[in-house]
Amino acid sequence: MPNVAGMADEDDPLFKALADGTRRAILDELVARDGQTLFELCARLTTNRGLASSRQAVSQHLDVLERAGLVRSRRQGRYRLHDVDTRPLARIARRWPVPGTGAAPQPDAPRTRTPDTRTPATRTPHPEDES
Amino acid sequence: MRIHLSSIMVDDQRKALAFYTDVLGFLPKHDVPVGEDAWITVVSPEDPDGVQLVLEPDSHPAVRPFKDALVADGIPFTSFAVADVAAEHERLTALGVKFTQPPTPMGPAITAVFDDTCGNLIQIEQMA
């Protein structure tokens, strides 16, 4: 069955998690400091970004990020702390390698189309290009 | 009308009195036996005639679940003003106090959050 627009795949939770400005701001704040409580995250979102989300809303955003594997929560004593985990983002670069970033295509990645346009800024020069 | 008492629910009044005086540096004001418990208040040495903090026993069954839920999410229910959050963080850390949030700029303020060892998180705040 051919792929159709809107078809779900295993990366859906990842892209849904990223498709929201508040959730991206949460990731930014966790990159600034790992191991935050819900209280600290909410305070940072309010004062650093002017976001007025309720604690409950932020808690739900954290659940979405956790399902995507981008945030991990752990219990330390009586506190629940949240850490960022950017490893799932590597799947994006593996799926759509970015030239010049060292992200090589997977050997078995299906080649659906041979590049036929020159993109000098990003493409590695090849002898055949000179013909 | 003015505020003259504010309460904090503590799991052990004697332990709390020691922490709030020996570690935080407040002064004992009242310590009167009331049944099995006591009426204990402390004041700031910077304002000994000012607002008293009541160290209230948290034995009511509704209190522990409430405190636990706040602490799990890192929420301080009480805040004290300090002149220098970084200096207090350093002083209290040296005394073994655990912080859930180190000094962090929050808009016009710098705040930090520590555990009072009696079941509460406390925020300290310095206005810029």
**Structure ipTM:** 0.90
CATH code of the region B5-127? 3.10.180.10
| Per-residue pLDDT at B91 | 98
| Three-state secondary-structure class, residue A44 | helix
DSSP A36: B
User: What DSSP state is assigned to residue A85?
Assistant: -
**Number of domains forming the structure of chain A:** 1
Cβ pair A61, A32 in contact under 8 A: no
**Bridging pattern class, strands B5-10 and B52-57:** parallel
A35 part of a folded domain: yes
Say whether pLDDT at A120 is over 70.
no
Put simply, whether A36 touches B (Cβ < 8 Å) is yes
Q: Which of A79, A42, A82, A53 is nearest to B111 (CA)?
A: A42
Mean predicted confidence (pLDDT) in A123-130: 40
Q: What is the mean pLDDT of residues A66-84?
A: 97
| Distance, CA of A11 to CA of B41 (rounded, Å) | 57
User: What is the structure's pLDDT at A7?
Assistant: 74
Alpha-carbon gap, residue B114 to B76, rounded angstroms: 8
**Min CA distance, B118 vs chain A (Å)?**
12
Judge whether A25 and A51 are in contact, CB under 8 Å: yes
| Predicted local confidence at residue A105, as pLDDT | 53
Q: Is some CB atom of chain B closer than 8 A to the CB atom of A67? A: no
Q: Is residue A110 pLDDT above 60, yes or no?
A: no
Confidence category of residue A5, pLDDT binned at 50, 70, 90: low
Which residues touch A34 (CB under 8 Å, ≥6 apart)? A83, A84
Q: Which amino acid is at A26?
A: I
User: Does B18 touch chain A if contact means CB atoms closer than 8 Å?
Assistant: no
In whole angstroms, what is the distance from residue A82 CA to residue A73 CA?
4
Q: Which domain holds residue A59?
A: 12-88
> Considering only alpha carbons, which residue of chain B is nearest residue A49?
B107
Whether residues B73 and A36 touch (CB distance < 8 A) is answered with: no
**Does residue A102 fall inside a structural domain?**
no
pLDDT at A118 over 80: no
Residue in chain A nearest B68 by alpha carbon: A78
What Å distances lie between residue A113 and A52, A99, A110, A122, CA to CA?
A: 46, 16, 9, 17
Q: pLDDT at residue B88 above 60?
A: yes
Q: How far is CA B111 from CA A33, B25, B86, B123, B126, in A?
A: 15, 19, 9, 7, 6
Q: What whole-number distance in Å separates Cα of residue B102 and Cα of residue A36? A: 10
Token pair, residue B20, equals 């709030």
- Tell me the Ramachandran region of residue A10: left when phi exceeds 0, alpha when psi lies from -120 to 50, beta otherwise: alpha
Q: What is the CATH number of the domain that holds A44?
A: 1.10.10.10
Q: Which one has a higher pLDDT value, B68 or B107? A: B68
